Structure 1
Amino acid sequence: MYGIALRVWRRQQNRKVELKLGKYIAIEGNIGAGKTTLAQMLAQRLNARLVLEQFADNPFLEEFYTSPERWAFTVEMAFMAERYAQLSGILTQSDLFQPDVVSDYHPLKSKLFASVNLSPKEFRLYSQFFDALFSSIRGPDLIIFIRAELPTLMSNIKSRGRSFEQNIPSEYLLRLSEEYKNFLKMVTTPTITLVRESFDFIGNDQHLELLIQALLRKDFTGNTLVSGPDELAALV
């Protein structure tokens, strides 16, 4: 099966394909899982509109990492406002030439991080704002969740070199991983869970092509765990 998929990859290499279904795909995972990289690669190959989280535009992010309790509510409100403005603009505008959307975050990411960073009282207030804003925002048709272990997350965070991320405690990443487990149990959107340590989407084009072929050929339901390329090839 893997050999057949690789022959498909050789024929398809460097040729753009399109879902042509107006799909909205959200890529999720912990800090350092590789969401943005995969989103960029998929959007290019699928000729989809790319939606990237504008974390650099949040003026409170560096302060949050140095003093979390002082800046948590402010940084989460700023992220929520930015994500709402971005998604409400893009998802309400149809594009004849790029009908599909690939994003490196799910709208519910705002609530997930807020549940970790805020006090219970702050989170209740935050949730009121979130529910009022995002009730009108379309949810994704498919989630691609990148599941990565702590050493992978720490290595990726270090290698990409964002100064304000270098001192993120491992305990914080582990807590986020637990919240993402709850997130996956809660969402009803079809989800593909990729085991990060088994894939190299940057160094191995075949892995990316297998994922693209699976997206084009299979209608996903529930949460599909994909532990490696062979399992992904079996879906093609």
Structure 2
Amino acid sequence: MQSNIFLGLGSNLGEPEMNLRRALELIRSIADAEISETSSFIYTLPLTRDGSNPPKYCNCVARIRTGLEPAELLDRLQEIEDQMGRSRTTQKWQPRIIDIDILLWGDRIINTQRLTVPHSQMHLRSFVMEGMDEIAAHLRHPVTGDTMSVMYDRLNGGDYYFEKDRPKLIVFAGAIGVGKTTLAEGLSILFGTELIHEEYDKNPFLPLVYKGNNDVKLDSELFFLSSSASQLKKSCFRDNRVYVADFMFEKSPIYARHWLDPGDYDVFIKEYRALEKEAAEPSLVIFLEDTAENCLERIKIRGREYEKKIGKDFLVELEKSYEELFRQWNKCPVIRIDAGSYDFRLADEVRIIEEKIRYYLGIS
């Protein structure tokens, strides 16, 4: 019998928990199939785009063993759905008495007209990945090579869906000198798109700030804010295109909090809130992490005069502020990358990250 086959079950009609228990019993009754483990029941709001307020889903993940082939198991599972009264419709996000998906089939990759394994959306669903993390935290995804635990953490409790024809915005986060621009430049080439570059070289106040001129700190932060808002305005992005930015709009308060006194920060944050409404939300954040020492070495190598006074404590503070930002983050998945493990100047290493991003965003 084949093991490490995972099913995702969900219900939001009638008595959802009872529906899941019945479905599990019917799966146990399939010849040549047995359930070896199930996750806890997980309640979540349904994914919906029509403004309705359907009832919550109850979900779980089951690990099974079976002697059946994938298409045969799919037939049996659909028979169970029909037996339980599922109404099939082409409309997305409709309430369902039961939904049973094949998530993983060992390390097999299956792409047929009827079945895609690994499930094409499981890595974007916290209600799936929470169950996977509970019963198979160290199992690696056959496509990305990441553990279920790592993939679950990337979602921070969120559930996401990317419409194929909508613009996809990839943004970067991380301390100064961590390699954001180098990696973003490499990715923009592979995606065939022009890099949206943070305009720090155009900020006339920045060199003065690093020299200790307190009078222009607010001017500098407002320049960055205005520039970022203009570059990342929703109206700038077109359908069916991928965009790469070496910064993210939402990091603006991090730097403002460091540089500004409370009165100036209040002025800044008021302007930030006004512009935030028009900024495009990212589809994916790439958060680069590295030691302060490695970042300082890269800063030294690139030789910008105004960055010479950047110290270790400032970089550590930036890292902590990003961590604080992402503890509350719910706009999109966040992929953390250990920048010290890569050389972003090498195309082959950038391609590894590109493939992961393509999978997350469903880009062929």
In the alignment, is the contact (CA less than 8 A) between 1:49 and 1:99 conserved in 2?
no
Q: Secondary structure at the match of 2:336?
A: strand
* Deviation, structure 1 residue 34: 0.7
1:146-165 counterparts in 2 under 5 A?
Answer: 146-165=288-307
Deviates more, 1:98-107 or 1:156-165: 98-107
The TM-score normalised by the length of structure 1 is: 0.78
* Structure 1 residue 184 corresponds to structure 2 residue 326: yes
Please say if 1:110 is aligned against 2:252.
yes
Question: Aligned to 1:36, which of 156, 177, 181?
Answer: 181
**Do the aligned residues in 2 keep the contact of 1:68 with 1:117 (CA within 8 Å)?**
no
Aligned-pair CA distance for 1:126: 0.8
CA distance in 1, matches of 2:361, 2:219: 40
Q: Quick one: distance in 2 between partners of 1:93 and 1:175?
A: 32
Shift of 1:69: 3.0
Cα gap change, 1:95 to 1:132, in 2 (>3 Å): closer
Partner of 1:57: 202
* Structure 1 residues 87 and 161, CA gap change in structure 2 (3 angstroms): same
Q: Taking CA–CA contacts closer than 8 Å with sequence separation of 6 or more, which of the two structures ends up with the larger relative contact order?
A: 1
Tell me the equivalent position of 2:279.
137
After alignment, is 62-71 or 175-184 more displaced? 62-71
1:197-212 alignment to 2 at 5 Å?
197-203=340-346, 205-212=347-354
Q: How high is the TM-score relative to the length of structure 2?
A: 0.52
- Aligned amino acid, residue 40 of structure 1: E
What amino acid does structure 2 have at the position aligned with 1:26? Answer: V
Query: Could you tell me which amino acid in structure 2 is paired with residue 214 of structure 1?
Result: K
Counterpart of 1:25 in structure 2 is 170
Q: Which runs of 5+ in 2 are unaligned?
A: 1-106, 108-141, 144-163
Q: What is the CA-CA distance between 1:49 and the residue it aligns to?
A: 3.5
Asked if the contact 2:167–2:238 (Cα under 8 Å) also holds between the matched residues in 1, the reply is no
Task: Report the structure, 1 or 2, having the larger helix content.
Answer: 1
SS of residue paired to 2:343: coil
Question: Where in structure 1 are there 5+ consecutive unaligned residues?
Answer: 6-18, 221-236
Give the Cα–Cα distance (whole angstroms) in 1 for the partners of residues 300 and 187 of structure 2. Answer: 24
Letter in 2 for 1:199: Y
1:101 counterpart letter in structure 2: Y
How many residues are treated as equivalent by the alignment?
201
Q: Does the aligned pair in 2 maintain the 1:51–1:102 contact within 8 Å?
A: yes
Q: Structure 1: which 4+ aligned runs deviate by more than 3 Å?
A: 93-96
Percent identity, please.
25
Larger proportion of strand: 2
Larger Rg belongs to: 2
CA distance in 2, matches of 1:78, 1:126: 11
Give per-residue Cα distances to partners, 1:60-91, cap 9 Å, x unaligned.
Answer: 01100011533221210111111122222xx4
How many Å separate the matches in 2 of 1:56 and 1:47?
24
